[in-house]
């Protein structure tokens, strides 16, 4: 596998395995978050060669960004990494709304810069469309921030095809991030081909389908947390998928790696995908994810894996 790739046409060079920081300091999203463990996980990520960190305001209401900024300042590694973050949420007590207004996005970038302890953000996403602000106006605000040097690339996350096309009216969109994995490949029909056509890099989140594609779940013992409400974790669908995942063990053994690494290595081969951002909430998970860089699959092996889930 290539050791470094460019994210689309942004000029940003990264290892193809990044770090999804949605569990770092995210007390609002997960229980039992230990910030000391989060800090050590970030330090180990840097030591293991991670150079692309993907955060968001909504991950801990800014706390994920703060911890990343703290560790980068402590280690002096800011110039060695590419930082991505996102904004759109307005949280007032228990009330959460979305905002894409130019003034809001401008303020969000300035606040994120302070939390990350940096004077530029490599990639800034609109986290969700607000359904009110014209998408091209929202992206236009980010383009002005790009021209001012506060951000280096413009991203959109969780936008529909129609909203994406409106947002990219002037060709300013550099990166699109959306939910994608081998078990829900629907975006291969429209969004990913559009990104390829437009020179936009597509970055999938949940590439391991919330753990379903790691091989750690047995058909007879599905997870009992939030995942049990999701369609792929229910009934015969869950049983069928776990059987397919288990069947990858022989291939994983041949490459002296894990099923998760086989899945990540396969996902990276998809046209339009330059980098994947599996999450990690412990040093052990970071080390496991980064072992994907040692996996090189043949075209036939990639087709074999992909055919399983078609």
Report the pLDDT value the prediction gives residue 2, as an integer from 0 to 100.
82
Residues of the chain with pLDDT under 50: none
User: How many residues make up the chain in this entry?
Assistant: 310
Q: Where are the domains of the chain?
A: 5-214+261-297
pLDDT of 120: 98
Contact between residue 23 and residue 264 where contact means Cβ atoms under 8 Å apart:
no
Q: What is the pLDDT of residues 221-239, one digit of tens each?
A: 888 777 878 888 988 999 9
Positive or negative, the CA dihedral 14, 52, 164, 111 is: negative
DSSP 60: T
| Residue 59: active-site member | yes
Q: How far from 73 is each of 51, 57, 66, CA to CA, in Å? A: 15, 19, 10
pLDDT at 223: 81
Quick one: pLDDT at residue 232? Answer: 87
**Catalytic member of 59, 180, 205, 238:** 59
Compute φ and ψ for 126, nearest 5 degrees. Answer: -80, 115
CB 260 within 8 A of CB 214: yes
pTM of the shown model:
0.95
Q: What is the pLDDT of residue 64?
A: 98
Tell me the C-alpha to C-alpha distance, in Å, between residue 17 and each of 45, 81, 241.
11, 13, 24
> Is the CATH number 3.60.20.10 carried by domain 5-214+261-297?
no
pLDDT, position 220: 83
CB 86 within 8 A of CB 124: yes
């Amino acid at each position: 596998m290539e050791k470094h790739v460019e994210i689309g046409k942004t000029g940003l060079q990264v290892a193809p395995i990044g770090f999804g920081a949605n569990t770092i300091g995210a007390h609002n999203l997960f229980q039992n978050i230990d910030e000391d463990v989060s800090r050590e996980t970030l330090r180990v990520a840097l030591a293991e060669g991670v150079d692309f960190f993907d955060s968001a305001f909504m991950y801990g209401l800014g706390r994920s960004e703060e911890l990343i900024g703290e560790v980068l300042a402590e280690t002096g590694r800011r110039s060695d990494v590419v930082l991505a973050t996102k904004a759109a949420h307005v949280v007032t007590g228990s009330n959460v709304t979305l905002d894409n207004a130019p003034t809001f996005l401008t303020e969000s970038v300035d606040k994120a810069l302070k939390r990350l302890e940096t004077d530029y953000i490599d990639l800034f996403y609109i986290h969700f469309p607000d359904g009110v602000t014209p998408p091209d106006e929202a992206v236009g605000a980010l383009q002005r921030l790009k021209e001012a040097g506060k951000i280096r690339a413009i991203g959109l996350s969780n936008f529909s095809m129609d909203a994406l096309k409106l947002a990219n009216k002037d060709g300013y969109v550099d990166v699109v991030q959306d939910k994608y994995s081998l078990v829900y490949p629907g975006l291969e029909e429209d969004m990913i081909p559009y990104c390829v056509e437009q020179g936009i890099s597509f970055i999938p989140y949940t590439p391991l389908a919330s753990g379903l594609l790691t091989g750690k779940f047995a058909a007879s013992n599905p997870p009992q947390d939030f995942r049990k409400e999701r369609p792929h974790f229910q009934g015969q669908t869950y049983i069928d998928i776990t059987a397919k995942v288990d069947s990858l063990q022989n291939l994983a053994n041949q490459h002296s790696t894990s099923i998760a690494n086989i899945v990540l290595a396969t996902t990276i081969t998809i046209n339009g995908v330059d980098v994947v951002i599996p999450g990690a909430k412990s040093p052990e998970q970071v080390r496991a994810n980064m072992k994907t860089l040692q996996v090189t699959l043949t075209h036939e092996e990639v087709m074999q894996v992909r055919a399983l889930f078609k």
